Chains A and B, each alone.
Chain A
Amino acid sequence: MNQKELKELIEFLIEKDIAEFELERGDVKVRIKRGGGSSAAPDTRYFAVHSAPPVTPEMATTPAVPVVATTAPAPTQEAAPVVEENLHIVRSPIVGTFYEAPSPGAPPFVKPGDMVEAGQVLCIVEAMKLMNEIESDVAGEVVKKLVTNGQPIEYGQELFAVRQRT
């Protein structure tokens, strides 16, 4: 199922005011639940996509917005409307500056779409001229880089989303 088909499906559900919808077709599984009525609580917002080939969270977020926007403030990227099993978040263990490459001008350690092993270096966070190699603690696919090169990083900040290999 591509993004256009998904969008059409969601528009169809809105048009017909269908609150809940589930579809299984081969290895593609789509479940959409939308807060259609005015009484819908925010926690009923739910949108999940499990499919192969994988759908990236950015792609899933786009069609999700019109579904929930009727009753709740439009979720921002941070509000993480995407709920996906096996999605592992790699966080920074220190305060510092984020570097995606071993040195300026060098190619990045990893980019979205790359497969990584547990223990593989994803980036460097520098504090006080101490270079901290941040490793992936799971094996799988790098789905998203959540920060930009040179950005200041807080303790515990989310750096990468990795879809765990099962």
Chain B
Amino acid sequence: MQDVTVNDASDAEVWSRLVAGQADLFSVIYGRHAESVYGYCFRRTGSWSAAEDLTSIVFLEAWRRRADIRFGDEGSLRPWLFGVANNAIRNRARAVRRHRAALQRLPAAMVADDATVEVDRRLDDEAKMRRVLAVLEQLSPHHQEVLALTVWAGLDLAGAAVALGVPVGTVKSRLSRARAALAALASPPTDAAPVAGTRPEGANR
């Protein structure tokens, strides 16, 4: 059983105890952030099943990269986890391979079918989300990330800066350009001028 003080401790404090050997505290960190990471990954991919895999990957990667960890305001791990999620989403195929390889080297975990899954509603969600993503994907990856972090993940500018590993000023300017580019996409075309911030055809960085 976890002691009472854990509930009031910051992520930074829990994480330091976890790294020091209190392995069961992973359930605390996971419990605090898994839902928001899962939601973020769904909104970035439009697939619940991919979001489930990516959520596992994000926490695995967080552990693997624990030496690089950066905490946000009040010792929160949340912005950094979204940064790890961004990398995992960008390198999805490789991340999934690494995840499977990691699982194969661990004793089998108990995975049972979840009988409560609302299949129809989930399919509706996915269809709706893919329509949104089809528009968003016309923006550059930087603009997609900054919009997703601030609008969907609810991070403030400082949190987004931690997630993206860039200065706050860069987040502000990216966000401004991303919103302008998004507004231009939503407007009917009135001339042939290129939209600032939209990515060239096929670009992915």
Binding between chains A and B: no
Interface residues of B (CB under 8 A from A): none
